[in-house]
Structure formats: structure tokens, C-alpha cells
């Protein structure tokens, strides 16, 4: 079996964990890096022993590269992915798939036209914590899922992030920044969404940076900072979701799934581990459930590994472009529903990802 040769475009902070986890695998090899900041690419190549540093254009046309790992900023995701697909390469892109629905659709259409695969982060749903939850649901530990809640609430990144302005630009905000983790986890556990409604607001038109090095600078807020949605899943379950940069403190859970025979407390969907907690009828305490799967540490890149295996075997990959596009439409739909004051009917759907079969003995 020939290794899939990967070229990485974008050598920012997120690239470190990918380059760490994708080393020394039998199925793939990272052979080249590219970044608009050429010195940054050289630095990462030395650190991780990557043999080639190329320009973006050189990497895209290099016939020795089979798959492009697109770790650019969100505004460049669609453009870089389309160029890679046009060059005949599979693509795996950091979240989100694209900023606009139009661009996301173009990526999927180009991949279909060229008979190539598109994958997209997040892949945290393939970690041991969420895969354990998936197995519990498939084993009917909580009966039939009837409802879910999902909460990501804090007071924004301007107190800790060194360059937080982009979080408040159009196409960002709490929903587009963190929503993909929660929505991907929900679809993995319950299935796709058919209809939704949403409400959203900009609480403060201006934010003040209190982190260094831009302490005291003002940010103009261009996107809603408190976003709430109600999701009607295709299987009949109802989900309630809130993402917010306006909340000073909360005791809400990350994710919970409620079934006819019990409740499941799901770990932070931005992580790969736990804890996983289960409460059955008649019980007064939650009980922690041991992991049934591995990859409980920071395993970013597992979606790439699964996609490479799918290329070799011909099966569908789990962190798919269709899944990422459905998540993208849900996020846009919640904002559009708030603007129009009416339900939003999803035009897309996706297959619920297959469970991983790597069960620990």
C-alpha cells in the first residue's frame, strides 16, 4: 500500500499538533510545507523534519503530493481548497469548510467533479470521549434520544487572545468559532437536522482588548455575540443550543443527550477525552463510564488518518465535506432565522458518521 503524500498549507499555531500526530505513520507522509510567511514554514520544517518547503503555488502543482492539508485562516479556506482540488489533490481543511454557503457548495461540487475527497475539521468527535458516548447511544443505554442541550458560554477572547479582533468580524462570533465542535458532536450522536429557529444579538457594539500586546485597543463588533437556536433533528429529537461571548459565568453542561431510558452527559466537544457520565431512571447520582475507545488525548489529525484509510479502502470517510457543509448551513440558518423571524428549513443533509470500531479490550 503506497503512502498518501501530504502537503500542508498554513504553518500557524494549529499546525504543530497536526505535524506531531501525523508523524511516523504507515499510511501517510507529510512531505512539504508552505506558508505565506516562508520563514515560518522553514522553522516548522526543521522542527518536524519535513523534507521540503515550497511556495503555495509550488505545493499546489507538485505532482508528488496527493492530499493538501489546508490550515490557512478561515477566509482563505475555500480558495485554497478549490485550487488544490483543481490541481487534482484530495483536501482536508480546518474548520469551517468555508465562510459562505456558496463557497462551501463550490468546494463540494469541485470535489465531485474531479472525483476527489474533501474532509474537514473538527475531528474531536472521533476521540475516545465522544466515541464512547456514541457506543452508549447505539447500545440503547439511554433508550431513544429525544432531546439534547449544548452550551458554549463565556465572555469572549479579548481578555486572553493576543490578536482577538477577527473573532468579532462577520463570519466569526461564538457560533462560527465554536459551533462546529458542538454541532458536529450532535450530528455524530443524533443525526442531521431538518429544521431550526434562532435568535441572535450584538450585546455591545464595541469591545476593549485587555490582553497583550494590544491592551486598550477597541474592537468594532460586526457579528452577533449571543446566539441561541432550537434544532429539529431528522429523527424527531429536539436540540437547544446557545453560544455566547456575553456571559461572565455559567454552570451549564457542555452537552447532554436525554433519552427515554436515561441521560448522558457528554464531555467538552473541543476535546478528545472525558468524562462521560450516565444517569439511569431511579438513580440519584451520575456514574462515570469507562472509555470504550482510545484517542483520548489531543488527537487532532485523526480525521486526516481516517480519510487516508478511506482513500485506500474506498469506504466513506467520517469527517466528510458533506458533514462540514451541513454544519455550515446550520450556523448560517440560525443567524438567518433570527433576521427573518421564521423557521429555517435545511436544504442539506448528511450521513451520520459510522462509529469507530477500535474498541479497547
Domains in the chain and their CATH numbers? Answer: 4-120 (3.40.50.720), 126-293+325-345 (3.30.360.10)
Query: pLDDT tens-digit profile of 25-54?
Result: 999 999 999 999 999 999 999 999 999 999
The residue whose grid cell reads 474498541 is: 359
Q: Is the peptide bond before 96 cis (omega within 30 degrees of 0)?
A: yes
Query: What is the rounded CA–CA span in Å between residue 36 and residue 58?
Result: 12
Query: pLDDT tens-digit profile of 312-338?
Result: 999 999 999 999 999 999 999 999 999
**What are the average pLDDT values for consecutive 10-residue runs of the chain, which has 361 residues?**
94 95 94 96 97 97 97 94 98 96 98 98 98 98 98 95 89 93 98 98 96 95 97 98 97 97 98 97 96 94 97 96 98 98 98 80 32
Burial class (CB in 10 A: 0-12, 13-18, 19+), 170: exposed
Query: What is the rounded CA–CA span in Å between residue 139 and residue 120?
Result: 28
Q: Which pLDDT belongs to residue 358? A: 60
Contacts of 231 (CB under 8 A, 6+ apart): 148, 186, 193, 195, 196, 238, 239, 240, 241, 330
Question: Residue 32 — φ and ψ, nearest 5°?
Answer: -155, 150
| pTM summary value | 0.95
Amino acid at each position: 500500500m503506497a503512502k498518501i503524500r501530504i502537503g500542508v498549507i498554513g504553518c500557524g499555531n494549529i499546525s504543530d499538533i497536526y505535524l506531531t500526530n501525523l508523524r511516523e505513520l504507515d499510511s501517510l507522509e507529510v512531505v512539504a510545507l508552505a506558508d505565506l510567511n516562508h520563514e515560518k514554514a522553514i522553522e516548522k520544517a526543521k522542527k518536524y523534519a519535513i523534507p521540503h518547503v515550497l511556495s503555495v503555488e509550488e505545493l499546489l502543482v507538485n505532482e508528488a503530493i496527493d492530499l493538501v492539508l489546508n490550515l490557512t485562516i478561515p477566509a482563505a479556506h475555500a480558495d485554497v481548497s478549490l485550487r488544490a482540488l483543481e490541481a487534482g489533490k484530495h483536501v482536508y481543511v480546518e474548520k469551517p469548510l468555508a465562510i459562505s454557503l456558496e463557497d462551501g457548495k463550490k468546494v463540494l461540487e469541485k470535489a465531485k467533479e474531479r472525483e476527489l475527497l474533501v474532509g474537514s475539521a473538527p475531528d474531536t468527535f472521533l476521540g475516545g470521549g465522544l466515541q464512547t458516548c456514541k457506543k452508549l447511544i447505539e447500545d440503547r443505554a439511554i433508550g431513544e434520544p429525544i432531546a439534547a442541550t449544548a452550551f458554549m458560554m463565556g465572555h469572549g477572547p479579548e481578555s486572553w487572545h493576543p490578536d482577538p479582533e477577527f473573532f468579532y468580524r462577520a463570519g466569526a462570533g461564538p457560533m462560527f468559532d465554536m459551533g462546529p465542535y458542538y454541532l458536529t458532536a450532535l450530528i455524530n450522536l443524533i443525526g442531521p437536522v431538518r429544521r431550526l429557529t434562532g435568535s441572535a444579538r450584538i450585546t455591545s457594539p464595541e469591545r476593549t482588548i485587555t490582553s497583550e500586546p494590544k491592551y486598550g485597543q477597541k474592537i468594532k463588533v460586526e457579528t452577533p455575540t449571543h446566539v441561541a437556536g432550537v434544532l429539529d433533528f431528522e429523527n424527531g429529537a429536539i436540540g437547544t443550543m446557545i453560544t455566547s461571548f456575553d456571559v461572565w459565568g455559567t454552570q451549564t453542561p457542555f452537552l447532554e443527550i436525554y433519552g427515554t431510558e436515561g441521560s448522558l452527559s457528554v464531555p467538552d466537544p473541543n476535546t478528545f477525552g472525558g468524562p462521560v457520565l450516565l444517569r439511569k431512571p431511579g438513580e440519584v447520582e451520575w456514574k462515570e463510564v469507562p472509555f470504550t475507545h482510545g484517542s483520548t488525548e489531543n488527537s487532532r489529525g485523526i480525521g486526516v488518518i481516517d480519510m487516508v484509510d478511506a482513500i485506500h479502502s474506498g469506504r466513506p470517510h467520517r469527517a466528510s465535506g458533506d458533514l462540514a457543509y451541513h454544519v455550515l448551513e446550520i450556523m448560517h440558518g440560525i443567524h438567518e432565522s433570527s433576521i427573518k423571524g421564521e423557521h429555517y428549513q435545511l436544504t442539506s443533509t448528511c450521513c451520520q458518521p459510522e462509529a469507530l470500531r477500535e474498541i479497547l479490550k
